[in-house]
């Protein structure tokens, strides 16, 4: 790994609070790779050979059954996957592919397991990452079980708007087919849900979204911290 890559990797959230010497030791066994869009990075059922950390780009975490697929999450820079499989030395329960061109840090699984056993600060960082992932799964389960497809879409739009500063203007960051799967609905259900948002003055054209009455959309979405607040 080049010196400039090492310096950049040291700043990743996974290494917060971990001693510089230990991080450098871990990175000496790691790789930084670039992948084009749509390349499969992890295949469900394969042995966990690496812990992946996203440096640049977006990665779709998904799973399949027979001829069906569902998107579990979409991850961006700073996120890692899939820690549980690596620490337990078991197969991946999910697959992953780049939605965009990606740059990925690949940490050998054995080195990660050794670090978890030997360095308390690194073990804590991994535990925090897994705890956040677990809470994310609980929130998503509640979102899927307690809300209609229209409510899920409305809350997703509110959350995306807040990420961009609550301007009322946003871009859907990936294909609508991925968005539908991410929200747990078929593409045709997403289309109907988009049409159902017209009375709330939501204008969606392609990937461009205009929220013309945010309060009206909030009255439909009714977000709650225990599902929608990333800090909760």
pLDDT in tens, 100-110: 999 999 999 99
Instruction: Encode pLDDT of 165-213 as tens digits.
Output: 999 999 999 999 999 999 999 999 999 999 999 999 999 999 999 999 9
The distance in angstroms from the start CA to the end CA of the chain is: 36
Is the pLDDT reported for residue 111 higher than 90? yes
- The angle, 0 to 180 degrees and rounded to 10, between the axes of the packed helices 149-163 and 187-196 is 70
Instruction: Write the pLDDT tens digit of every residue in 115-170.
Output: 999 999 999 999 999 999 999 999 999 999 999 999 999 999 999 999 999 999 99
Closest CA to 74 of 86, 60, 88, 63: 60
pLDDT at 228 over 80: yes
pLDDT in tens, 5-58: 889 999 999 999 999 999 999 999 999 999 999 999 999 999 999 999 999 999
CB neighbours (10 Å) of residue 188? 9
Same-fold call for 3-144 versus 147-228: no
pLDDT band at 72 (very low <50, low <70, confident <90, very high): very high
Question: For 177-181, which contacts have Cβ atoms below 8 Å and span 24 or more sequence positions?
Answer: 178/60, 178/71, 178/74, 178/99, 181/62, 181/69, 181/70, 181/71
Query: What is the predicted pLDDT for the residue at 15?
Result: 95
Hey, what CATH topology would domain 147-228 get?
A: Arc Repressor Mutant, subunit A (1.10.10)
What is the pLDDT at residue 183? 96
In the chain, where are the structural domains located? 3-144, 147-228
For residue 1, is pLDDT > 80?
A: no
CATH superfamily of the 3-144 domain: Jelly Rolls (2.60.120.10)
pLDDT band at 4 (very low <50, low <70, confident <90, very high): confident
pTM for this model (two decimals): 0.90
pLDDT class of 2 with cuts at 50, 70, 90: confident
């Amino acid at each position: 790994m080049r010196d400039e890559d090492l310096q950049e990797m040291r700043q990743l959230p996974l290494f917060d609070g971990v001693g510089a010497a230990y991080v450098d030791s871990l990175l000496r066994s790691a790789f930084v790779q670039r992948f084009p869009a749509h390349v499969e990075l992890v295949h469900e059922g394969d042995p966990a050979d690496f812990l992946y950390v996203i440096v640049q780009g977006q990665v779709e975490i998904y799973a399949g059954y027979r001829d069906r697929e569902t998107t579990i999450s979409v991850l961006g820079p700073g996120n890692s996957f899939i820690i549980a499989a690596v620490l337990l030395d078991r197969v991946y329960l999910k697959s992953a592919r780049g939605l965009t061109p990606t740059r990925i840090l690949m940490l050998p699984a054995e080195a990660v397991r050794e670090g978890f056993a030997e360095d308390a600060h690194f073990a804590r960082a991994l535990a925090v990452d897994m705890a956040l992932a677990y809470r994310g799964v609980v929130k998503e389960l509640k979102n899927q079980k307690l809300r209609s497809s229209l409510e899920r879409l409305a809350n997703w739009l509110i959350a995306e708007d807040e990420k961009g500063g609550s301007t009322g203007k946003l871009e859907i960051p990936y294909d609508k087919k991925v968005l539908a799967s991410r929200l747990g609905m078929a593409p045709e259900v997403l289309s109907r849900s988009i049409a159902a948002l017209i009375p709330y003055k939501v204008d969606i054209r392609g990937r461009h979204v205009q929220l013309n009455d945010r309060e009206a959309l909030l009255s439909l979405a009714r977000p709650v911290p225990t599902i929608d607040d990333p800090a909760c």
